[in-house]
Chain A
Amino acid sequence: MGKSFLSFAAAVILQALDNGYQYGFDIMDVTGLPSGTVYPALRRLEDACYVRSKWEKHSIAQEEARPPRKYYELTREGRDMLAEARSRYRMLEQAQEPKTDKPKTSRA
């Protein structure tokens, strides 16, 4: 996939991942993007190898009596891509603020 693939939403998601928001719902909260955008974007990013997903350790999940969650990490390519995208999309700063409990509502 070419570079043009990286939409603003995708760049925002990469940025969120870079800042430590690793779960789908967390990304939704911090970016304000709806799940119908976040998840498909995550899958496309994964297909393009900018992101990889892993399942949380079973033991952790069991302790909290819930199924294991899937978390996403940036790959090296993803980091490069983000750096490039950052220079293009200045508004990414919105997603750059440190994690707080309050979800933001900065919909693109």
Chain B
Amino acid sequence: MQTNPDNSTRFSRPHLALIRLIGVIVPFRLRTEWRQEWEAELRFREQLLADWDKLDWKNKLDLWRRSLGAFWDALWLQPKRWEDDMMQDLRFGARMLMKRPGFTFVAVLTLGLGIGANTAIFSLVNTVLLRPLPIAQPEQVVTLNFGVPGRGVFPLIGYPEYTDYRDRNQVLTGLAAMGGATVGLSNNGINERISGSYVTGNYFSLLGVGAALGRVITPEDDRAVGAHPVVVLSYQCWQQRFGADQQILGRELLISGRKFTVIGVAPKGFRGTELASTSELWFPMMMKPGLEVGRGPVKGRTAPVSTIGRLKKGVSWEQAESALNLIAAQIAREYPQADKGQIVVLSQPGLFGAAMRPMVLRFTAVAMGVVVLVLLLACTNLVNMLLSRASERYKEIAIRLALGAGRVRVLRQLLTESVLLALLGSALGLALAYSAVKLVWLKMPVIFGFTQIELQMDWRVLVFTLTLSLLTGVLLGLLPALQATKPDLIPALKNESSFGGYRRSRLRNTLVVAQMSLSLVLLLCAGLVLRGLQNAQQIDPGFNPEQAVEVSFDLDVQQYNRERGSEFQRQVLERVRSLPGLQAAALTTHAPLTSGEGGGKGVFVEGDEPKAATKAPIVLTTAISLDYFRTMETRLLQGRDFTAQDTHQSTPVAIVNEAFVRRFWPGENPIGKRFSFTGATAGNWIEIVGIAQNGKYSSLAAINEPFIYLPLAQNYESKVTLIARSAGDPHLLLATLRKEIHKLDENLTPYDARTMLEHLELPLAPARTAATALGSFGALALLLAAIGIFGVMSNAVTQRTREIGIRIALGADAKEIVKLIVGQGLLLVGIGIAIGLGMAALSTRLLARLLFGVSALDPLTFVGVTVLLAATAFLACYLPACRATKVDPMVALRQD
């Protein structure tokens, strides 16, 4: 039986080598016999035929084929593994877990929470950073960002400049442009504002995106201005708004008052190349002029577009970037006024070019850090629990070792148990994460301003979770298992309770200290963010949000021109102002603190030396109707308000805020001074007639932002927000306002109707999310830490029973015993707190953006949270200490 073919034969004959190889997967118990049977058959067959060297290729092939069959045989043997060591371990592990349902429950729950939190956050990371766009070879696709060194870059550029880059470069197979637009879709008598994109004719072919139905936009559709009113629907739009109508092709849709013919439906899952602003409709770029809603063309230029290009084969990212920058230099020479100093920076598409990526990275890094911390905490706790379990099983393990079990074998068994725990935990975690992701995404659509991003749990998330849980399992099990398999056999077998000893308890103590410090860090972060939120409520936004409401409407959706639009806006105000109980009403193009609503313009001050457009400081602006300041209750500090005499025939005027004055004319009286948006030479001067108080415009955290108010009469925009103030119920007022607008034009759909207090909540959403997450993780951490301390102290009391008994016998009273035990615990707590405070001091500054003016080292939060933690820890020490006082000295001394 032992006559194996010698090695030389085995390796010179590939079929025999194959058998050796396949044998690896045969359950160990059966492996030797299995290999021998197959080898013998093959060798016999070989001999029957002839010697190997003389075999023709046909017979060789046949032998090969046969030996490949061994693979199936081996596969069939897999169920026999049940009797293998691994299965034994698994079954034993499962039995051990079932024997202690309480422990298992707590452990699985803890792990489930920890792993679930990680999975949830990872699915976010996966969606925004890892998952490639649903386009062909996404790794070749780049977004171009334009800007001036030191001033940041933005993925937008004028359409004419885009064509320059498109036609002059040699490094891209193509460069497409798209411009987002909000349009009004009239469907079955309902007018809805939905987002669409104007795309160049090469957009779909460049991305390698075909049509699910019909065809996509081609270069032919994009040749002449206004010539091809065609539209491609997104799959989702087709499904949801048109009930997956198979006859949709060729249908005419009324979009912003113009007729468009549906030519196709985009494939499922394709919603454009930006995660943050997904498209439901695509039109040819040439249809863009006049159709664009809201943000009209920048004065003197076409509205900017974003660009996306595909690198030629063999062209590296750096080569492409430097080639494009050469073109930028060329263009700058040709148009020094507009494009001087412009540079091009490439970035991955999806997150608004280079603009949003850093913010998303920072957010996800913090979030990921927090959840990993929580998981670590959960692990620490479980390691502690497993350590104490290992101590209970000390004798069992010692007996096994004494009977000759290898250390590796016992280790493996213990590790199997902890991996089993971790797998159970990850199953729970996946379920938790899945429901959490669904819930969060239903409840909180605005975190980054994402609208329709769909968090999906794809294979990456599953692989992540599985890896995490295996790692966790090993991490969990290794320490206790190493400890448990290294016992001094003799005392263990003699049932001496010397278990534990100095080193073992030192390890557990270290874990408790780690736990205390980690939970302190989390709770401090949560506390700081909460304080920040509290602070944010106190911030003066520069207007009075109480009793005020807002509702927006966009007249471009209904194809109003400037005259009709102005008239409509005037009528709305007139009607609203006549409502009973209304105190004031006004229109503004950009309500303060509206996310994503820019209105920023480059400012040139009269008397300054001329400079390039790209060098002008950008200041936020809004156009307002009469009565705006009274409606918002924003104070005018100096000069006059706009009047009915400020029309587009009269001198252009503006009211600026204090910060603007401080920035451009510090210490001077700015009334009568002039500035311009179009360059110092153009001469379109705007005269300052008044100064308003400072306020918050882009974010609550911004300080001293300059701001410009312009009269709406001189600066018409189709998209405005109506703000009204009354003494009555704001929600009733909102309903009335909507009704009034509807009466004037029943096809116009007002949107964003809410009270100003609700409006103010929006910029706080990220902080609220963070506070909720950090707070719940922090609370979880505190609970885990408390359980940890309790466990360690209980164990300490058990170990020191005899000592305590002697002390009591010698006359120590309850107070002294409590002091002894609590003192031991509090020492650990103290060390943990000290380390935690140090770690927190280093890490809380990461939260700076969410703190709204609260210092990252806010003493009140630091003291408060520390006291809370210490009190909890004290309680967790005190309970075991009380038990210690109940030790009966007689019983204790008789022990063992």
Interface status of B69 (Cβ within 8 A of chain A): yes
* Residue contact B47 to A39, C-beta cutoff 8 Å: no
CB proximity of A58 to chain B, nearest CB, Å: 7
For A24, what are the chain B residues with a Cβ–Cβ distance below 8 Å?
Answer: 37, 41
Q: Mark B694-735, 1 if CB is under 8 A from A, else 0.
A: 000000000000000000000000000000000000000000
A residues in contact with B71, CB < 8 Å: 36
Q: Please tell me if the beta carbons of A66 and B5 are within 8 angstroms of each other in the complex.
A: yes
Verify B47–A64 contact, CB threshold 8 A. yes
Bound CA–CA A85/B75 (angstroms): 27
Interface residues of A in 30-62 (CB under 8 A from B): 34-37, 39-40, 43, 55-56, 58, 61-62
B40 contact from A28, A37, A39, A61, Cβ within 8 A? A61
Whether A8 is near chain B, meaning CB under 8 Å from some CB there, is no
> A68 touching B76 by the CB < 8 A rule?
no
- A23 near B41 with CB under 8 A, answer yes
Chain A nearest CB, measured from B53 CB (Å): 15
Give the residues in chain B near A23, CB-CB below 8 Å. Answer: 41, 44
Docked Cα-Cα span, A36 to B70, in Å, equals 6
Question: Given contacts A25-B45, A25-B66, A58-B1, are A67 and B72 in contact (CB under 8 A)?
Answer: no
Given known A36-B71, A62-B3, contact A43–B76 (CB-CB < 8 A):
yes
Give the CA-CA distance A11 to B388 in the complex, in Å: 57
Nearest B residue to A40 via CB reads B76
The answer to the question of A76 belonging to the interface, with a C-beta cut-off of 8 Å to chain B, is: no
- Are B40 and A36 in touch, CB under 8 angstroms? no
The answer to whether A34 touches B72, judged by C-beta atoms less than 8 angstroms apart, is yes
Is B292 among interface residues, defined by CB-CB distance under 8 A?
A: no
At the interface, is chain B mostly helix, strand, loop or mixed? helix
Assess the B40–A66 pair: CB atoms within 8 A. Answer: yes
Judged by a CB distance under 8 angstroms, whether B43 is at the interface is: yes
The CA of A91 and the CA of B486, in the complex, are separated in Å by: 65
B36 touches A (CB below 8 Å): yes
CA distance A87 to B68 in the complex (A): 34
> For the complex, what is the distance from the CA of A23 to the CA of B66, rounded to whole Å?
14
Size bracket of the B interface: 20 to 34
User: Within 8 Å of chain B (Cβ to Cβ): is A69?
Assistant: yes
B54 → chain A closest CB, angstroms: 16
Interface residues of B in 771-827 (CB under 8 A from A): none
Alpha-carbon gap, A28 to B44, bound state (A): 14
* Given A61-B3, A66-B5, A67-B4: A34 in contact with B69 (beta carbons within 8 A): yes
B73 touches A (CB below 8 Å):
yes
In angstroms, Cα B43 to Cα A62, docked, is 12
Instruction: Report if A104 contacts B (CB, 8 A).
Output: no
Q: Which of A35, A37, A55 contacts B66 (CB 8 A)?
A: A35
Q: Is A70 an interface residue (CB 8 A)?
A: yes
The CA of A24 and the CA of B39, in the complex, are separated in Å by 12
B3 to chain A: which residues have CB within 8 Å?
A: 58, 61-62, 66-68
Complex formed: what's the CA distance from A55 to B2 in Å?
Answer: 11
8 Å CB interface, B70-95 against A: 70-73, 75-77
| Contact residues, B36-60 vs A (CB, 8 A) | 36-37, 39-45, 47
Contact for A39 among B1, B4, B36, B73, CB less than 8 A: B73
Q: How far is the CA of A2 from the CA of B76 in the complex (A)?
A: 20
CB pair A55–B47 under 8 Å, yes or no, is: no
Given the known A-B contacts A35-B66, A35-B72, A36-B69, are A25 and B77 also in contact in the complex, defined by CB atoms under 8 Å? Answer: no
Measured CB to CB, the nearest residue on chain A to B39 is: A67
Contact indicator B1/A43 (Cβ below 8 Å): no
Complex alpha-carbon distance, A61 and B39, angstroms:
12
Report yes or no: A70 in contact with B37, Cβ–Cβ below 8 A: yes
Does A67 lie within 8 Å of B76, measured CB to CB? no
Verify A36–B76 contact, CB threshold 8 A.
yes
Q: Interface extent on A, as a size class?
A: 20 to 34
How far is it, in angstroms, between the C-alpha of A70 and the C-alpha of B30 when the chains are bound?
14
Residue of B nearest to A39 (CB): B73
**Residue among A36, A43, A58, A61 with the most chain B CB within 10 A?**
A36
Smallest beta-carbon distance A13→chain B, Å: 14
Task: Check A67–B43 contact: CB distance below 8 A.
Answer: yes
CB A72 to nearest CB in B, in angstroms, measures: 10
Nearest-CB residue, chain A, relative to B66:
A35
Interface centre among A39, A43, A62 (most CB of B within 10 A): A39
Question: In the complex, which residue of chain B has the Cβ closest to the Cβ of A58?
Answer: B1
Residues from 196 to 228 in B contacting A, C-beta threshold 8 Å? none
Instruction: Return the chain A residue nearest B45 by Cβ.
Output: A25
Contacting residues, chain A, for B75 (C-beta < 8 A): 36
Chain B 9-43 interface 0/1 with A at a Cβ cutoff of 8 Å (1 = within): 00000000000000000000000010011011111
**Contacting residues, chain B, for A70 (C-beta < 8 A):** 33, 36-37, 40-41
State whether B40 touches A67 (Cβ < 8 A): yes
**CB-CB nearest in chain B for A29:** B45
Chain B residue nearest to A34 in the complex (CB): B69
Interfacial chain B residues near A40, Cβ < 8 Å: 72-73, 76-77
Known: A25-B66, A28-B66. A67 touches B73 (CB 8 A): no
In whole angstroms, what is the CA distance A86 to B42 when docked?
Answer: 31
Contact between A25 and B76, CB atoms less than 8 A apart: no
Known: A61-B40, A69-B44, A70-B40. A39 touches B5 (CB 8 A): no
B5 contacts across to A, CB distance below 8 A: 66-67
Query: Which chain A residues border B70 with CB–CB below 8 Å?
Result: 35, 39
Measured CA separation A43–B37 after assembly (Å): 12
Q: How far is the CB of A18 from chain B (nearest CB, A)?
A: 20
- Interface-central residue, B1, B33, B77, by most chain A CB under 10 Å: B1
Residues from chain A with Cβ under 8 Å of B36 in the complex: 67-68, 70
* Assembled-state Cα–Cα distance A65/B4 (Å): 10
A39 touches B76 (CB 8 A): yes
Between A23, A24, A34, A35, the greatest number of chain B beta carbons within 10 A of the residue's beta carbon is seen for A35
Please pick, from A35, A55, A69, the residue contacting B69 in the complex, using a CB distance under 8 A.
A35
Q: How far is the CA of A67 from the CA of B33 in the complex (A)?
A: 11
In the complex the two chains form, what is the Cα distance from A91 to B520 in whole Å? 78
Chain A residues in 8 Å Cβ range of B42? 25
- CB distance B76 to A69 under 8 Å? no
B72 touches A36 (CB 8 A): yes
What residues on B are CB-neighbors of A25 within 8 Å? 41-42, 44-45, 66
Residues of A within 8 A of B39 (CB): 67
Q: Which residues of B contact A66 (CB under 8 A)?
A: 3, 5, 40, 43-44, 47
Instruction: Give Cα A62 to B5, complex, Å.
Output: 11
B33 / chain A contacts, CB cutoff of 8 Å: 70
Cβ contacts under 8 Å, A36 to chain B? 69, 71-73, 75-76
Residues from chain B with a CB closer than 8 A to the CB of A64 are 44, 47
Q: Which residues in A have their C-beta under 8 angstroms from that of B77?
A: 40, 43
Bound-state CA distance A56–B44 (Å) is 12
Task: List the B side residues contacting A35 at CB < 8 Å.
Answer: 66, 69-70, 72-73
Q: Determine how close the nearest CB of chain A comes to the CB of B249; give it in whole angstroms.
A: 50
- B43 cross-chain contacts in A, Cβ below 8 A: 66-67
Residues of chain A within 8 A of B66, CB atoms compared: 25, 28, 35
Would you give the shortest CB distance from A60 to chain B, in whole angstroms? 11
Please measure, in the bound complex, the distance between the C-alpha atom of A39 and the C-alpha atom of B69, giving whole angstroms. Answer: 9
Beta-carbon nearest neighbor of B72 in chain A: A36
Q: How far is the CA of A64 from the CA of B44 in the complex (A)?
A: 9
Quote the shortest CB–CB distance from B90 to chain A (angstroms).
Answer: 22
User: In this complex, what residue of A is CB-closest to B37?
Assistant: A70
- What are 29 A-to-B residue pairs whose CB atoms are below 8 Å? A24-B41, A25-B44, A25-B45, A36-B72, A36-B75, A39-B69, A39-B72, A40-B72, A40-B73, A40-B76, A43-B77, A55-B1, A58-B1, A58-B3, A61-B3, A66-B3, A66-B44, A67-B3, A67-B39, A67-B40, A67-B43, A69-B37, A69-B40, A69-B41, A69-B44, A70-B33, A70-B37, A70-B40, A70-B41
Q: Spell out A's residues near B (CB within 8 Å).
A: 23-25, 28, 34-37, 39-40, 43, 55-56, 58, 61-62, 64, 66-70
A-B pairs, top 5 by smallest CB distance, nearest first, are A36-B72, A35-B69, A40-B76, A39-B73, A69-B40
- Given A35-B70, A35-B73, 14 more A-B residue pairs with CB atoms under 8 Å apart are A24-B37, A25-B44, A35-B66, A36-B71, A40-B73, A58-B1, A62-B3, A64-B44, A66-B44, A67-B4, A67-B40, A67-B43, A68-B1, A69-B41
